Protein backbone atom coordinates (compact mmCIF):
# COMPACT_ATOMS: atom_id res chain seq x y z
CA UNK A 1 0.00 0.00 0.00
CA UNK A 2 1.44 3.35 -1.02
CA UNK A 3 2.19 5.91 1.67
CA UNK A 4 -0.13 8.95 1.79
CA UNK A 5 1.06 12.03 -0.08
CA UNK A 6 2.29 14.62 2.41
CA UNK A 7 1.24 18.08 1.19
CA UNK A 8 1.73 21.61 2.49
CA UNK A 9 0.35 24.75 0.84
CA UNK A 10 1.91 27.91 2.28
CA UNK A 11 0.86 31.28 0.93
CA UNK A 12 0.96 35.06 1.27
CA UNK A 13 -2.44 36.70 1.28
CA UNK A 14 -3.42 39.84 -0.59
CA UNK A 15 -3.10 42.82 1.75
CA UNK A 16 -3.94 45.80 -0.44
CA UNK A 17 -7.41 47.33 -0.59
CA UNK A 18 -7.78 46.62 -4.31
CA UNK A 19 -7.94 42.86 -3.83
CA UNK A 20 -11.62 42.68 -4.66
CA UNK A 21 -14.42 40.90 -2.82
CA UNK A 22 -12.80 37.48 -2.82
CA UNK A 23 -9.41 38.77 -1.69
CA UNK A 24 -7.20 35.77 -0.91
CA UNK A 25 -10.04 33.24 -0.87
CA UNK A 26 -9.04 31.74 -4.21
CA UNK A 27 -5.89 30.52 -2.46
CA UNK A 28 -8.02 28.92 0.25
CA UNK A 29 -10.07 27.26 -2.48
CA UNK A 30 -6.85 25.93 -3.98
CA UNK A 31 -5.90 24.43 -0.62
CA UNK A 32 -9.31 22.77 -0.42
CA UNK A 33 -8.84 21.39 -3.93
CA UNK A 34 -5.57 19.78 -2.86
CA UNK A 35 -7.35 17.81 -0.16
CA UNK A 36 -8.91 14.43 -0.88
CA UNK A 37 -12.24 15.65 0.49
CA UNK A 38 -13.22 19.34 0.77
CA UNK A 39 -13.66 19.73 4.53
CA UNK A 40 -11.51 22.71 5.56
CA UNK A 41 -10.77 23.13 9.24
CA UNK A 42 -9.55 26.41 10.67
CA UNK A 43 -6.93 25.92 13.37
CA UNK A 44 -7.17 28.66 15.98
CA UNK A 45 -5.37 29.02 19.31
CA UNK A 46 -8.41 27.94 21.33
CA UNK A 47 -9.98 25.35 19.05
CA UNK A 48 -8.14 22.87 16.87
CA UNK A 49 -11.14 21.25 15.18
CA UNK A 50 -14.90 21.83 14.93
CA UNK A 51 -15.71 19.27 17.63
CA UNK A 52 -12.62 19.82 19.78
CA UNK A 53 -11.07 16.47 18.80
CA UNK A 54 -7.42 16.35 17.75
CA UNK A 55 -7.09 16.69 13.96
CA UNK A 56 -5.76 13.16 13.48
CA UNK A 57 -8.92 11.78 15.13
CA UNK A 58 -11.51 14.03 13.51
CA UNK A 59 -11.37 12.63 9.99
CA UNK A 60 -10.77 15.90 8.19
CA UNK A 61 -8.64 16.36 5.11
CA UNK A 62 -7.35 19.91 5.56
CA UNK A 63 -5.91 21.96 8.40
CA UNK A 64 -6.05 25.66 7.46
CA UNK A 65 -4.22 28.20 9.62
CA UNK A 66 -4.90 31.92 9.39
CA UNK A 67 -2.53 34.83 9.96
CA UNK A 68 -1.63 36.64 13.18
CA UNK A 69 1.28 36.27 15.57
CA UNK A 70 3.34 33.20 14.69
CA UNK A 71 5.10 33.46 18.07
CA UNK A 72 1.82 33.27 20.00
CA UNK A 73 0.50 30.57 17.67
CA UNK A 74 3.47 28.28 18.24
CA UNK A 75 3.48 28.87 22.00
CA UNK A 76 -0.18 27.82 22.29
CA UNK A 77 0.27 24.87 19.96
CA UNK A 78 3.19 23.58 22.02
CA UNK A 79 1.33 24.11 25.29
CA UNK A 80 -1.47 21.88 23.99
CA UNK A 81 0.64 19.24 22.26
CA UNK A 82 -0.38 20.19 18.72
CA UNK A 83 3.04 19.81 17.01
CA UNK A 84 3.00 16.02 17.29
CA UNK A 85 -0.64 15.83 16.25
CA UNK A 86 -0.02 17.99 13.18
CA UNK A 87 3.01 15.94 12.20
CA UNK A 88 0.87 12.80 12.35
CA UNK A 89 -1.82 14.52 10.29
CA UNK A 90 0.73 15.38 7.63
CA UNK A 91 2.09 11.84 7.58
CA UNK A 92 -1.47 10.53 7.24
CA UNK A 93 -2.16 12.66 4.14
CA UNK A 94 -4.01 15.58 5.71
CA UNK A 95 -3.18 18.75 3.75
CA UNK A 96 -1.56 21.43 5.92
CA UNK A 97 -2.11 24.97 4.68
CA UNK A 98 -2.01 28.54 5.85
CA UNK A 99 -1.49 32.21 5.16
CA UNK A 100 1.15 34.55 6.64
CA UNK A 101 1.78 33.16 10.16
CA UNK A 102 -0.04 30.08 8.89
CA UNK A 103 2.63 29.83 6.19
CA UNK A 104 5.63 30.45 8.45
CA UNK A 105 4.54 27.85 11.00
CA UNK A 106 5.25 24.82 8.80
CA UNK A 107 8.81 26.05 8.13
CA UNK A 108 11.83 26.55 10.40
CA UNK A 109 10.82 30.20 10.60
CA UNK A 110 11.26 33.57 8.95
CA UNK A 111 11.05 37.30 9.60
CA UNK A 112 8.20 38.37 11.88
CA UNK A 113 6.88 41.49 13.55
CA UNK A 114 5.38 39.39 16.37
CA UNK A 115 8.03 40.57 18.85
CA UNK A 116 7.96 44.29 18.06
CA UNK A 117 7.26 46.80 15.31
CA UNK A 118 10.47 45.82 13.54
CA UNK A 119 11.13 42.57 11.72
CA UNK A 120 13.02 40.02 13.82
CA UNK A 121 14.09 36.46 13.04
CA UNK A 122 11.80 33.68 14.23
CA UNK A 123 13.15 30.12 14.27
CA UNK A 124 10.54 28.32 16.35
CA UNK A 125 8.38 26.90 13.57
CA UNK A 126 7.41 23.24 13.30
CA UNK A 127 10.19 22.61 10.78
CA UNK A 128 8.17 20.13 8.71
CA UNK A 129 9.70 22.05 5.82
CA UNK A 130 13.42 22.48 6.68
CA UNK A 131 13.61 25.94 5.14
CA UNK A 132 12.87 29.54 6.04
CA UNK A 133 9.91 31.43 4.63
CA UNK A 134 9.49 35.10 3.79
CA UNK A 135 5.83 36.10 3.48
CA UNK A 136 4.46 39.33 1.94
CA UNK A 137 7.78 39.80 0.18
CA UNK A 138 6.51 42.81 -1.78
CA UNK A 139 4.56 44.52 1.01
CA UNK A 140 5.32 48.26 0.76
CA UNK A 141 4.65 48.93 4.44
CA UNK A 142 7.76 47.03 5.64
CA UNK A 143 11.23 46.20 4.29
CA UNK A 144 10.45 42.50 4.24
CA UNK A 145 12.31 41.75 1.01
CA UNK A 146 15.57 43.31 2.20
CA UNK A 147 15.36 42.02 5.78
CA UNK A 148 14.65 38.42 4.78
CA UNK A 149 17.56 38.28 2.35
CA UNK A 150 19.90 39.85 4.90
CA UNK A 151 18.91 37.23 7.49
CA UNK A 152 19.63 34.41 5.03
CA UNK A 153 22.91 36.02 3.92
CA UNK A 154 24.07 36.33 7.52
CA UNK A 155 23.11 32.75 8.40
CA UNK A 156 20.47 33.87 10.89
CA UNK A 157 17.91 31.93 8.86
CA UNK A 158 18.44 28.96 6.54
CA UNK A 159 17.71 29.39 2.85
CA UNK A 160 14.12 29.16 1.77
CA UNK A 161 11.34 30.70 -0.27
CA UNK A 162 9.75 34.15 -0.29
CA UNK A 163 6.27 34.79 -1.65
CA UNK A 164 4.73 38.00 -2.90
CA UNK A 165 1.10 38.85 -2.17
CA UNK A 166 -1.36 36.38 -3.63
CA UNK A 167 1.28 33.70 -4.22
CA UNK A 168 1.53 30.25 -2.69
CA UNK A 169 3.96 27.33 -2.48
CA UNK A 170 2.74 23.75 -2.89
CA UNK A 171 5.06 21.17 -1.37
CA UNK A 172 4.89 17.43 -1.81
CA UNK A 173 6.90 16.01 1.04
CA UNK A 174 9.66 18.57 1.49
CA UNK A 175 10.07 19.21 -2.24
CA UNK A 176 8.56 22.30 -3.84
CA UNK A 177 6.10 20.98 -6.42
CA UNK A 178 5.01 24.35 -7.81
CA UNK A 179 4.27 27.99 -7.07
CA UNK A 180 0.83 29.39 -7.87
CA UNK A 181 -0.61 32.89 -7.84
CA UNK A 182 -3.96 34.63 -8.07
CA UNK A 183 -2.37 37.92 -9.18
CA UNK A 184 -0.58 38.60 -12.47
CA UNK A 185 3.06 39.56 -12.18
CA UNK A 186 3.53 38.24 -8.63
CA UNK A 187 6.33 35.78 -7.99
CA UNK A 188 7.99 33.40 -5.58
CA UNK A 189 11.68 33.73 -4.79
CA UNK A 190 14.04 30.94 -3.73
CA UNK A 191 16.57 32.69 -1.46
CA UNK A 192 19.87 31.17 -0.39
CA UNK A 193 23.20 32.21 1.11
CA UNK A 194 25.86 33.39 -1.33
CA UNK A 195 29.63 33.87 -1.12
CA UNK A 196 31.09 36.52 1.15
CA UNK A 197 27.95 37.14 3.17
CA UNK A 198 25.77 37.71 0.13
CA UNK A 199 22.59 35.99 -0.98
CA UNK A 200 21.16 34.45 -4.12
CA UNK A 201 17.60 34.81 -5.33
CA UNK A 202 16.03 33.82 -8.59
CA UNK A 203 12.34 34.42 -9.28
CA UNK A 204 9.91 31.62 -10.04
CA UNK A 205 7.04 32.52 -12.35
CA UNK A 206 4.03 30.89 -10.68
CA UNK A 207 1.19 29.15 -12.41
CA UNK A 208 -1.92 31.34 -12.51
CA UNK A 209 -4.96 29.94 -10.69
Residue 77's pLDDT is what?
98
* CA dihedral over 59, 131, 104, 207, signed as positive or negative: negative
What pTM, to 2 d.p., does this model score? 0.88
Residue 24's pLDDT is what?
85
Q: What is the dihedral of CA 20, 182, 39, 72, to 10 degrees?
A: -80
Residue 39's pLDDT is what?
46
Topology adopted by domain 7-208: Rossmann fold (3.40.50)
Residues of the chain with pLDDT under 50: 37-52, 57
What are the residue numbers of the active site?
A: 100, 136
Query: 20 by DSSP, 3-state: which?
Result: coil
- CA neighbor of 96 nearest in space, from 194, 161, 13, 11: 11
Query: pLDDT digits over 33-92, tens only?
Result: 998 543 444 344 434 444 445 555 456 799 999 999 999 999 999 999 999 999 999 999
Residue 40's pLDDT is what?
41
Q: How far is CA 112 from CA 134, 140, 147, 189, 205, in A?
A: 9, 15, 10, 18, 25
Residue 37's pLDDT is what?
47
Residue 1's pLDDT is what?
57
Domain ranges of the chain: 7-208
CB atoms within 10 A of CB 101: 23
Amino acid sequence: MASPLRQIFAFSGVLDSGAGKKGSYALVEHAVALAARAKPTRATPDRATPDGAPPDRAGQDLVLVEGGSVVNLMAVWRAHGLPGILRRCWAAGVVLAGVSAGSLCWHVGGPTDSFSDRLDPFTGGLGLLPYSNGVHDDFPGQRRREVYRAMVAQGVLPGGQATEGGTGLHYEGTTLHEAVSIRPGKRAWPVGPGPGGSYTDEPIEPRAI
